[in-house]
């Protein structure tokens, strides 16, 4: 790397002029932009990993919330499920009904979240970025890749959040469910 050679040459020339050891890095302070850039990249990667983790855990928590709502829905609609099974509804029909309902809830929540994110990003982009903290933070953007990845994760979580309550609903005994109050 050229910057290392230049640095060594500066130390050699200055040490001869000012009589110090050229191997002593503490004698001269040289600002190395490339090292600062590498440090900035590492910090940026760390922040990205942290934000991804927070976002993923938020989506996971939302999935647990959807699953809890779906378990309550299954419990409240036990009689309805029993009637459907008594008149011949197949297990797959009942499961599909609850899985689609959970997916709808997850997608609706995700769409609302993305609209809020878009609003916040649009608001932050209105601040001038040439002074203050925004000078270092820059202008945020919503990337298509991140939105697609979030949608995929949210869809998977919604599918899983609906699958387990749907399985419980599909295994309801019609006779017992008709007695259920």
Domain count, the chain: 1
User: Do residues 159 and 99 lie in contact, with contact meaning Cβ atoms separated by under 8 Å?
Assistant: yes
Taking residue 151's Cβ as centre, other Cβ atoms within 10 Å add up to: 15
The pLDDT, as a whole number, for residue 112 is 92
- Residue 123 in any domain: the answer is yes
Domain with 137, as residue range(s), is: 51-179
Q: Are 136 and 68 in contact (CB under 8 A)?
A: no
* pLDDT of amino acid 181: 61
Residues in the chain, pLDDT under 70: 1, 180-181
C-alpha 161/C-alpha 154 separation (Å) is 10
pLDDT at residue 26, as a whole number: 77
């Amino acid at each position: 790397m050229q910057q290392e050679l230049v640095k060594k040459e500066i130390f050699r020339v200055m040490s001869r002029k000012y009589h110090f050891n050229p191997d002593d890095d503490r004698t001269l302070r040289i600002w190395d932009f490339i090292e600062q850039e590498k440090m900035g990249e590492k910090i940026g990667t760390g922040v990205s990993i942290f934000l991804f983790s927070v976002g993923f855990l938020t989506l996971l928590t939302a999935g647990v919330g959807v699953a809890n709502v779906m378990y309550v829905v299954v419990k409240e609609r036990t009689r309805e499920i029993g009637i459907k099974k008594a008149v011949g509804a197949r297990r797959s029909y009942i499961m599909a009904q609850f899985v689609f309902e959970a997916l709808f809830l997850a997608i609706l929540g995700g769409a609302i979240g993305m609209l809020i994110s878009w609003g916040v990003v649009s608001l932050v982009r209105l601040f001038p970025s040439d002074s203050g903290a925004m000078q270092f933070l820059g202008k945020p953007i919503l990337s298509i890749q991140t939105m697609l990845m979030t949608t995929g994760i949210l869809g998977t979580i919604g599918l899983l959040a609906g699958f387990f309550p749907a399985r419980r609903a599909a295994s309801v005994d019609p006779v017992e469910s008709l007695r259920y109050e």
